[in-house]
Structure 1
Amino acid sequence: MNLLMVTIARRLSGAFPFLVSPLFLGCGGDPDPPQAPPAPGISWEDCGGGFECATFSVPVDHDAPDGRTFSIPLVRRPAAVPSARIGSLLVNPGGPGASGVGWARAAQIALPQRLKDRFDLVGFDPRGQAGSTPAIDCVDDLAPLIGLDPTPDDDAERAALVAGADAFAAACKQRSGDLLPFVGTNNIARDMDLLREALGDDKLTYVGFSYGTFLGTIYAEAYPDRVRALVLDGTIDPTVSGDAFIKGQALGFEAELEAFLADCAAKPACAFHSGGDPWAAYDAVKAAVEASPLPAPPGGTRTLGPGELIYAVSQPLYNKHQWKYLAQALALAAAGDGSGLLEFADAYVARSADGTYDASFEVYYGVTSIDNTFPNDPQVYQNLTNELQAKAPRIGMYLPATALPSARWAFQPWRSNTPISADGAPPILVVGSTGDPATPYPWAVSLAAQLSSGVLLTREGPGHISFLRGNTCIDQAVTDYLVDRKLPPEGTTCK
């Protein structure tokens, strides 16, 4: 699904093997952190845990800089060795919709010490997203959209699916129509260049994950002479259109689900081992959910339908560390209780226990729908669903329906799906995983080839994102590149 390109804040475990927790936000770090050189235009204040916080103002319309503005939250942890400081290291954890501020606060624990010694770690929430103001807002309750049946059986169900997408797109236009033309990645890249300048850096050093790779790519194309070092991890191919994007992800998630089921079949201790045939057991759960939503839990008021099943199964496929929990949830569902899977679905769409949602789901559509081209005709997605019923029947066939809000969007994309070369930029490190379901490995190969100075670093294995995932080979190569601009040998593959 187009939504599965994201590595949003609640799935930060997809980028590194720990979750953001309130415990990380106000503790740890040096009691008296070293101070970085003052940044012009930014007033930093201590905000605990060795961090400084600030806000940064950027124009809503860069072509009318004296008009309305976005207020962008910033967080910075100054370099631990000021005498060896190289500059700022900006990060974007993905989404669109993830908080760079939250990521920086958590990720500093896992960052290699060489990076913490030599760089100010800087996180920011892009325009319209997370803690920035104003922010994209569409609806109060996402349940009607999420609960739509992604594989309608007749004309009435197909009409309901399209009507639901139209209603969501219309609500976004009504509530945020004054912002939506200005939240594309082209504008975020311009913001990031203003931020680079305000931080006092002549050139940008940056790590982008998932969607953040697209932001880094667009920045390099616009400002090739202002790049110092870019790491693009979990890569988006800018030549892939919206419908082709969905197909690639559908096949990617299907392959990852197959890998999970094979792994479970080989381990009798797996909670969903099912006598060595978890494939049949999974198909039975899927059929049961499609026939009638599962109670979640039995006797409760909530249910798990096919709409929720998409997010429930996809969420733990981002990271192999979560496979055992997916097995437990599926075993529970096989016994008639959908609550374990529904917890995964709730985590994916950021639903809190009180029934409220954060805005990351809406932000995702707001940015993606003008960053890419999506055919408007619903039949395109129905045809793709039909095709995937044969090629990806367990999870992939569900994904095309999630693109309908983007297909029905009220605002036109700012770009076409043309290759990006970033001529004149120094070497850019592109990192891809052979088993990445959300940003399939061929996209990394493609982007590295498109970029005039692209260098491909490969991780063999499952899961989305490679840096800070416990792979010493990847972490060493990325750190060497960021600090010394030393590139891994051509064709390097980390296992």
Structure 2
Amino acid sequence: MDLVMVTSSPRRLCRVSPFLVFALFLGCGDDPDPAPAPSPPAISWEECGGGFECATFSVPVNHDAPDGRTFSIPLVRRPAAVPSARIGSLLVNPGGPGGSGVGWARGLQIFLPQPLKDRFDLVGFDPRGQAGSTPRIDCVDDLGPLIGLDPTPDDAAEQQALVAGADAFAAACEARSGELLPFVGTNHIVRDMDLLREALGDEKLTFLGFSYGTFVGAMYAETYPERVRALVLDAAIDPTVPGDRYIEGQAVAFEAELEKFLADCAADAKCAFHSGGDPQSAYDAVKAAIEASPLPAPPGGERALGPGEFVYGVARPLYDESQWKGLAEALALAAAGDGSGLLAYADDYVARSEDGSYDDSFEVYYGVISVDLPFPADPAVYQALTGELQSKAPRFGASLPATALPSARWPVPPWRSNTPVSAAGAPPILVVGGTGDPATPYAWSVSLAEQLSSGVLLTREGPGHISFLRDHTCIDQAVTDYLVDRKVPAKGTTCK
């Protein structure tokens, strides 16, 4: 999953953490079938502008003790434009984890194909512990010390600093949000979704999930296969991949995307980072300079771009080919001694505001992914993986294993092992994958479609994260036909 960066507009990429994209704690095995859920509370909708209605939805912190503490979940709904042709609700999840489904739904409705707007109530929700839900995960006020750590340590002292930083962050999360951490995994979110489905009056679920949202959809289908109407899982996560191999997959995929960017820039004399036709060497020189000494980042001069910020700053625009021009300009600025362009991208990635404050999305990301995926606890695993990637993904990928250390040191064990999902008995489920996706590699979509007993793979050839609503008519039409009529593409369908 990405640290997926979610914004309110689907034309900007959600925040799938490029690196890392992920209960009543029930032990380290997979969750057994959940106990029957109580009847959901009624939803009281109120108009809230732009044709939307808003509400809050209460769910138990512990579904197995429903009379205890609750989460308040924000909801937003835009009713179907043609009530007489209404099919039901279309629930959406933008990814993350940490993104606001409420904000995403408001942006999504602008670009959604008209047949979907006509025939579905568009419904967004902020999952438990995330975004506008209350209570929510909160760990630290200043992420700077964690973000600023050198992800490719040159000596034992730097390696120890990485581990100490991860331990300090995990301990801070336990201190501030320890009571919530066992209850924010996707196993609990899908139970919330099923209560919401019932409260909305839908016999079965229609769902559109992006990036981490594909994991939510897959886990819902695995838990409630008989309650699925139609699921679109766009930019899929492979549930069989453990945390360290999750990071390795992203490392190789991001490296490949960076190489495509550099090759594209080398072939275009107008590219701001053309560097006489050799942007590869220019990139290596910028990276080495920042490793040696942080780069000043005017205006003001109070901040600098170090190795940690450099990784996030390069990652952010690699999600979307339309941002390559901006990446070239930021790298050219860095080559001239000014790190402000890349630092701005890094700030956007980790949700740092101009006043120096951060929202909680980065903490939420770790809170959820660290219990959704099994991460080896030994820091030596990630140190060894960094060494492996120095040879096969040296420009960028070797920096990513360090980002998994907070998950490796997390105070709450995972609720599941990396077992396949099948959702036996579910109707056809549409999995959409892009061949050049850096955050959720295409192989993961292929794997998920094969695991699901009714999985159908739709392929998009090309770079970038997420395929639906990205100006690909072939993809948009296929997804629309599936959601409305449950018509699946022919086996092997590829959109170019």
**TM-score higher than 0.5:** yes
Tell me, yes or no, if the aligned pair for 1:51 and 1:77 is still in contact at 8 Å: yes
Question: What is residue 197 of structure 1 aligned with on the other side?
Answer: 198
SS in 2 for 1:9: coil
- Cα distance between partner residues in 2 of 1:359 and 1:12: 21
Tell me, yes or no, if the aligned pair for 2:8 and 2:105 is still in contact at 8 Å: no
- Compute the TM-score of the two structures, normalised by the length of structure 1: 0.94
Closer, same or farther in 2 for the Cα pair 1:204/1:222, shift >3 Å?
same
Question: What is residue 34 of structure 2 aligned with on the other side?
Answer: none
SS in 2 for 1:385: helix
Give the 5 Å matches for 1:255-334.
255-297=256-298, 300-334=301-335
Give the CA RMSD over aligned residues. 1.2
- Cα distance between partner residues in 1 of 2:459 and 2:323: 22
Aligned-pair distance for 1:47? 0.1
Question: What is residue 235 of structure 2 aligned with on the other side?
Answer: 234
Aligned-pair distance for 1:6? 1.9
- Cα distance between partner residues in 2 of 1:156 and 1:436: 35
SS in 2 for 1:108: helix
Aligned-pair distance for 1:155? 1.0
Question: What is residue 219 of structure 1 aligned with on the other side?
Answer: 220
- Is 1:70 the counterpart of 2:71? The answer is yes
- Cα distance between partner residues in 1 of 2:328 and 2:346: 15
Tell me, yes or no, if the aligned pair for 2:9 and 2:108 is still in contact at 8 Å: no
- Cα distance between partner residues in 2 of 1:111 and 1:15: 15
Question: What is residue 8 of structure 1 aligned with on the other side?
Answer: 6
Aligned-pair distance for 1:94? 0.1
Question: What is residue 83 of structure 2 aligned with on the other side?
Answer: 82
- Cα distance between partner residues in 1 of 2:3 and 2:451: 20
Letter in 2 for 1:407: A
Letter in 2 for 1:403: A
SS in 1 for 2:111: coil
SS in 1 for 2:418: coil
Query: How many residues were matched structurally?
Result: 471
- Cα distance between partner residues in 2 of 1:267 and 1:113: 38
Letter in 2 for 1:169: A
- Is 1:449 the counterpart of 2:450? The answer is yes
Letter in 2 for 1:482: L
Tell me, yes or no, if the aligned pair for 1:40 and 1:199 is still in contact at 8 Å: no
Closer, same or farther in 2 for the Cα pair 1:211/1:98, shift >3 Å?
same
- Cα distance between partner residues in 1 of 2:84 and 2:160: 64
- Cα distance between partner residues in 2 of 1:371 and 1:316: 26
Tell me, yes or no, if the aligned pair for 2:10 and 2:108 is still in contact at 8 Å: no
Letter in 2 for 1:281: A
Cα offsets for 1:277-322 (capped at 9, x unmatched): 1101100110111010000016511000000011100000000010
Cα offsets for 1:36-56 (capped at 9, x unmatched): xxx970000000000000000
Aligned-pair distance for 1:11? 8.1
Runs of 4+ residues over 4 Å off in structure 1: none
SS in 1 for 2:175: helix
Query: Structure 1, unaligned stretches of length 5 or more?
Result: 17-38
Letter in 2 for 1:395: F
Of stretches 297-306 and 123-132 in structure 1, the one that deviates more from structure 2 is: 297-306
Aligned-pair distance for 1:135? 0.3
Of stretches 437-446 and 293-302 in structure 1, the one that deviates more from structure 2 is: 293-302
SS in 2 for 1:139: coil
Question: What is residue 413 of structure 2 aligned with on the other side?
Answer: 412
Tell me, yes or no, if the aligned pair for 1:5 and 1:439 is still in contact at 8 Å: no
Letter in 2 for 1:6: V
Aligned-pair distance for 1:456? 0.1
- Cα distance between partner residues in 1 of 2:4 and 2:345: 15
Question: What is residue 160 of structure 2 aligned with on the other side?
Answer: 159
- Cα distance between partner residues in 2 of 1:54 and 1:14: 26
- Cα distance between partner residues in 2 of 1:120 and 1:40: 19
- Cα distance between partner residues in 1 of 2:432 and 2:233: 6
- Cα distance between partner residues in 2 of 1:80 and 1:432: 30
- Cα distance between partner residues in 2 of 1:43 and 1:15: 32
Tell me, yes or no, if the aligned pair for 1:11 and 1:348 is still in contact at 8 Å: no
Letter in 2 for 1:393: P
Letter in 2 for 1:246: I
Question: What is residue 132 of structure 2 aligned with on the other side?
Answer: 131
Aligned-pair distance for 1:156? 1.1
Aligned-pair distance for 1:377? 0.5
- Cα distance between partner residues in 2 of 1:5 and 1:410: 20
Question: What is residue 384 of structure 1 aligned with on the other side?
Answer: 385
- Cα distance between partner residues in 2 of 1:249 and 1:173: 27
Aligned-pair distance for 1:265? 0.8
SS in 2 for 1:470: coil
- Cα distance between partner residues in 2 of 1:190 and 1:386: 40
SS in 1 for 2:400: helix
Question: What is residue 207 of structure 2 aligned with on the other side?
Answer: 206
- Cα distance between partner residues in 1 of 2:379 and 2:224: 37
Tell me, yes or no, if the aligned pair for 2:41 and 2:58 is still in contact at 8 Å: no
Give the 5 Å matches for 1:85-124.
85-124=86-125
Tell me, yes or no, if the aligned pair for 2:207 and 2:232 is still in contact at 8 Å: yes
- Cα distance between partner residues in 2 of 1:299 and 1:184: 41
Tell me, yes or no, if the aligned pair for 1:9 and 1:97 is still in contact at 8 Å: no
Of stretches 298-307 and 182-191 in structure 1, the one that deviates more from structure 2 is: 298-307
Aligned-pair distance for 1:160? 0.9
Give the 5 Å matches for 1:392-411.
392-411=393-412
Aligned-pair distance for 1:9? 2.9
SS in 1 for 2:110: coil
SS in 2 for 1:109: helix
Closer, same or farther in 2 for the Cα pair 1:323/1:298, shift >3 Å?
same
- Cα distance between partner residues in 2 of 1:155 and 1:475: 50
- Cα distance between partner residues in 2 of 1:14 and 1:462: 14
- Cα distance between partner residues in 1 of 2:399 and 2:240: 23
Question: What is residue 21 of structure 2 aligned with on the other side?
Answer: none
Question: What is residue 35 of structure 1 aligned with on the other side?
Answer: none
Closer, same or farther in 2 for the Cα pair 1:264/1:421, shift >3 Å?
same
